[in-house]
């Protein structure tokens, strides 16, 4: 069809998406749409490895899908679908689990971290999560998977599983490479800039949700933790200010040096307001589009059904090829 390289990525519908998700990952999803043939999914099956309230969960799946559209993911250009709608993901995951070792899954840092966090619910799904993620990836034969630091180990195990499968049963899967985007900010908490910005933080002032309104965004930036100096300068011993500089750079496209220059001799108050306004300006049209999209459930469903079908055509082919190689009677 065309000779563009392929990209695959998924996002969990677990709560509100933040400015960190946007600047760190989703903005790149958008930028990759022309250069690559992209497949993106809402990874709802992964989300149930921690307890979800069914009613809220349903709303989050809709809202995550709508938000991806509002951000500018174009369902004509890219394949955009919902993971649980394609049985091939769980089915391939089962096949892959037989070429995955207990030991290697036990060593996953995210499994260890989440087990510590949810000590009362260390379920088997949490353990085999990386195998499902491997299936998500390998079904689409992507060249690249954009991943942040926290998912790098999961991509590595997906590659190991693919190589092992190919060696045992014959060539089926392309071995995907990690894709480190040219731009992409690591956004830290506004209240504790040593920590990554997280939507599950108890302190709501620590993160900006993509759908926060203008006043809320500006207020959260005004309250952002800085330091007792008052120079706008990128420095390891100024994590709060550095985080704000990085956010401002990512949103305006100005280099850090240019930002430092712009605020030379000016106080933190003025700088924080500028960052808040720039972020609010960037997010406002997204929120506006989101409100329209989420209000029309029928149209939303039409879009994800079309995306599901388009994804399924690719996923089925890979799935049956793998099953055939394993000796299943088809
Ligand atoms: N586990 C990923 C996360 O939490 C989401 C995900 C699921 C994913 N399947 C994937 C990411 C496949 C990339 C490729 O961020």
To the question of domain 6-185+297-326 being in CATH 3.90.1150.10, the answer is: no
Asked if domains 6-185+297-326 and 204-291 share a fold, the reply is no
Q: Which residue has the tokens 């091939």?
A: 88
Q: What is the pLDDT of residues 11-30, one digit of tens each?
A: 999 878 999 999 999 999 99
Burial 12-39 (b: 16+ CB within 10 A, else e): bbbbbbbbbbbbbbbbbbbebbeebbbb
219 Cα: distance to centroid of ligand 1 (angstroms): 32
Residue from 48, 89, 133, 158 whose mutation best tests the ligand 1 pocket (most atoms within 8 A of CB): 133
220 lines ligand 1 (CB under 6 A): no
* pLDDT for the residue numbered 197: 93
158/100 Cα distance (integer angstroms):
10
254 Cα: distance to centroid of ligand 1 (angstroms): 30
Domain ranges of the chain: 6-185+297-326, 204-291
272/64 Cα distance (integer angstroms):
29
326 Cα: distance to centroid of ligand 1 (angstroms): 26
Counting from 1 in the atom list of ligand 1, the atom nearest the Cα of 8 is 14
- The catalytic residue positions are 114, 196, 199
pTM (predicted TM-score): 0.94
| Secondary element (H or E) of residue 290 | helix 268-295
User: Domain spanning 204-291 has what CATH number?
Assistant: 1.10.240.10
199 Cα: distance to centroid of ligand 1 (angstroms): 16
Q: What is the pLDDT of residues 58-109, one digit of tens each?
A: 999 999 999 999 999 999 999 999 999 999 999 999 999 999 999 999 999 9
Residues of the chain with pLDDT under 70: 1-2, 182-184
Instruction: Give the residue, by CA position, lying nearest to ligand 1 atom 2.
Output: 11
């Amino acid at each position: 069809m065309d000779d563009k390289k392929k990209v695959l990525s998924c996002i969990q519908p677990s709560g509100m998406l933040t400015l960190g998700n946007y600047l760190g990952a989703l903005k790149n999803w958008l930028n990759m749409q022309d250069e690559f043939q992209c497949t993106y999914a809402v990874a709802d099956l992964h989300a149930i490895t921690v307890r979800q309230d069914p009613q809220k969960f349903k709303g989050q799946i809709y809202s995550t899908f709508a938000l991806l559209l509002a951000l500018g993911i174009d369902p004509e250009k890219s394949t955009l679908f919902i993971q649980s709608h394609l049985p091939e993901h769980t089915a391939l995951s089962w096949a892959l689990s037989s070429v995955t070792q207990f030991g290697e899954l036990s060593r996953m840092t995210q499994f260890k971290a989440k087990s510590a966090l949810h000590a009362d619910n260390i379920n088997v799904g949490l353990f085999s999560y990386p195998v499902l993620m491997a299936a998500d990836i390998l079904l689409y034969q992507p060249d690249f998977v954009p991943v942040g630091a926290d998912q790098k180990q999961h991509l590595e195990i997906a590659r190991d599983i693919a190589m092992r499968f190919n060696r045992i049963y014959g060539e089926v899967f392309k071995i995907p490479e990690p894709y480190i985007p040219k731009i992409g900010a690591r956004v830290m908490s506004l209240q504790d800039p040593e920590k990554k910005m997280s939507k599950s933080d108890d302190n709501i002032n620590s993160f900006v949700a993509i759908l926060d309104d203008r006043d809320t965004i500006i207020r959260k930036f005004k309250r952002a933790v800085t330091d007792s100096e008052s120079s706008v300068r990128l420095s390891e011993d100024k994590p709060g200010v550095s985080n704000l500089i990085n956010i401002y750079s990512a949103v305006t496209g100005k280099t850090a040096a240019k930002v430092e220059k712009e605020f030379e001799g000016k106080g933190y108050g003025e700088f924080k307001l500028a960052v808040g306004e720039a972020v609010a300006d960037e997010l406002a049209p997204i929120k506006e589009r989101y409100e329209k999209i989420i209000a029309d459930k029928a149209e939303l469903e039409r879009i994800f059904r079309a995306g599901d079908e388009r994804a399924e055509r690719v996923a089925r082919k890979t799935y049956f090829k793998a099953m055939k190689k394993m000796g299943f009677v088809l």
